[in-house]
Amino acid sequence: MTTNLPVLNAENEFKIAIIGMGPRGLSVLEHFVHSCIKQAPKRKIRILCIDSHEVGVGRIWRTDQADHFMMNTLTGQVTMYSFGPDGGPARAGNGPSLYEWMRDQSKIDPNIPEAGPDDYAPRVVYGHYLKSVYQSILDNLPQNVAVESIVGTVIAVHKEDGAHSLHLADGGGSRSVHKVILTTGHPQHEPKGAKKQFMRFAQQNPGLIFVAGDSAACMPLDEIPSEGQAAMIGQGLGFFDALLSLTVGRGGHFETVGDKLVYKPSGREPKIVSGSRSGCPIFARGKNFKKPGQSFKALFMNERSLQSARIRARRERDTEQLDFNRDVFPLLHAEMEHIYLKIEVRHRQGPEKEAEFSAEYQQRFLEGSTRDATFLAKYSLSDVTPFDMYKLARPFAGMEFLDNATYQTALRKVMLDDIAAAKRGNVDGPLKAALDVLRDVRDTIRHAVDFGGLEPRSHRDHFLGAFVPAATSLSSGPPLMRLEQAVALMDAGILEIAGPEANFACDKREGKFRVSSPRVRNTFWLAETVIDTRVPTTNLQSDSSALTQAMLANRFIDEYTNGDGMDHCFEVGGLAVTEAPFYVIDGNGEPNHDCYALGLPTEHTRWFQQVGSGTPNTVSRFSKDAASISDDIYKTVIELEQ
């Protein structure tokens, strides 16, 4: 689309602003500069790279954080370059993966640990990698391209006569640009509801502390006293980060004694109790035994089957929107169950029988008889626990415990079983191989759910309400060692875990926070500190960002709504954007062809925008998204030269 852009200065520079320079913004920059290197446009181009914390790195991956915060993606599966090294200097287009960079950098920098391609890196190390990528782009810019690094906070964006005016906080002034890319990353919210109640209760009772949810590196965890009890809401990835901050971050350490991991306390750790809906920490990722680039090939959950489902929906319900539980999940379940059972057959009866089972399972799926008892007995599977993703994610659903000791015994078994399953890995371990399917078919799931692909109620209740929490707990967990460390901290008497459906409340009589579970009788804790370890999800209305609220107020952006505006309507919380190249849609429902949004601001409009890197030797969705924006902007530059 040709845009009649104004001349913003005497040199007739084409100006681009990237607001938010973490991995998403960095990827757009990398792709765009790579295009300029390859095709050398004549027009002068200036790119403003703006971040409130660290340009090229962002807030979450900041390089001043502690080294006990870990990534949950393998070093060999992470890159920020479009292509790998080519013998020349690292630059936009070509450069090392995180693993390759660490391998080389660890030889000259004692702060960079050695790591294999199947190891996990500290988040601070990834931050340094991002910083090196950004610098490599700056060091090898084409002559007509300038990049301006701005540490500052954009508080408003206005569209004026075809240009965009950016206003920065703290006397940063205003800048006019032709194109804007919003890659602002993880939101921060003002406490509301129970969180606001906890904050007020802490303010009214000296000695109490409430820490609102955020990245653990940004939380004031050093202020939590060693004496007393600290309670943690949530048991996802943020829980492990906060847990390590209050233990290893205070001088404690882990040792292997025999075949057991043991925690040696420093004496400066508070007592910790954590709780969540499931009653147990998020499960560990299986050890990786897949080869680089290897992924599961779907047999049932593919675009062809989804298209068939949309045709049925149009014929039967006069809509192309799918019902997740009826049209999508059965396909996904079949993929996981097939892997789960066929690996069991391989272990029990060998690879030839595995191939025979696989062929018969595929046929029986079409007939709806994969759980037939005779079929399972034929392959010696009668004693195998049926695969049930939701039961796996909520192992204590419907259960009650007489006391805390009974619950802790059951919890410990679940955690140790998960550790054992994780050690078997994602190729030969039936459980973790099946759950790895959730990672490998993410793009297909997106194809089903993005941009209102699901009926509003199903999107809200079946997908976001039930499936996403379960899938996250089963497939997006931490490295195996984190669960082992949690068990060691339980053994050391540092950590206790409240039961299912954990309840956090303000006990006004005691003047403390109270933690309990309705499923575990005669058990509660009183705590002086509550830490919300849940990283805030995208919700434009409660986002505390001045920029977000200003853009909503002037209708520069709008929230995506799934539905027709009638009774069946669901405001998802994320930015309304078009499909690629992701033009922002304003409050009048019109796309702004000079403003784009990518990543977490668009979560729920598009699913799983937390991804923070590309994958080596693969055209990943992360890379495709950045390239689509880069290509659209580059197309405008070329059109202006014609």
3-state secondary structure 482-538: HHHHHHHHHHCCCEEECCCCCEEEEECCCCEEEEECCCECCCEEEECEEEECCCCCC
Residues 6+ apart with CB under 8 A from 160: 176
CA distance 437 to 297: 9
For residue 36 the two structure tokens come to 């300029």
For residue 626 the two structure tokens come to 């950045």
Of 296, 87, 162, 235, the residue nearest 592 (C-alpha): 162
CA distance 448 to 323: 10
Of 241, 237, 239, 238, the residue nearest 249 (C-alpha): 241
Confidence (pLDDT) at 161: 82
- The interaxial angle of helices 442-449 and 303-317, nearest 10 deg, is 20
For residue 312 the two structure tokens come to 């049925």
Instruction: State yes or no: cis peptide before 581, omega within 30 of 0.
Output: yes
- Give Dmax (Cα) for the chain: 80
Cβ atoms of residues 541 and 233 within 8 Å:
no
Structural domains in the chain plus CATH codes? 14-188+540-641 (3.50.50.60), 194-282+478-532 (3.50.50.60), 303-399+419-472 (no CATH)
Residues 6+ apart with CB under 8 A from 533: 213, 216, 232, 233, 234, 235, 236, 238, 239, 241, 242, 274
CA distance 536 to 189: 7
Cβ atoms of residues 517 and 500 within 8 Å:
yes
How many other CB atoms are there within 10 angstroms of residue 295's CB atom?
A: 14
Three-state secondary-structure class, residue 195: helix
CA distance 62 to 59: 5
Return the half-sphere exposure (C-beta side, CA atoms, 13 A cut-off) of residue 295.
Answer: 16
How far does the chain reach from its first CA to its final CA, in angstroms?
A: 13
How many other CB atoms are there within 10 angstroms of residue 82's CB atom?
A: 20
E strand residue ranges, 228-292: 229-233, 253-257, 260-264, 271-275
For residue 422 the two structure tokens come to 């994780």
Confidence (pLDDT) at 567: 60
pTM of the predicted structure, to 2 decimals: 0.96
Confidence (pLDDT) at 14: 96
Which ranges of 194-281 would DSSP assign to H, the alpha helix?
194-204, 237-245
Cβ atoms of residues 527 and 512 within 8 Å:
yes
Confidence (pLDDT) at 285: 96
Residue ranges, the chain, pLDDT below 50: 1-8, 10
CA distance 54 to 21: 8
CA dist list (Å): 230 to 221, 281, 470, 505, 605: 11, 17, 26, 13, 36
Confidence (pLDDT) at 11: 57
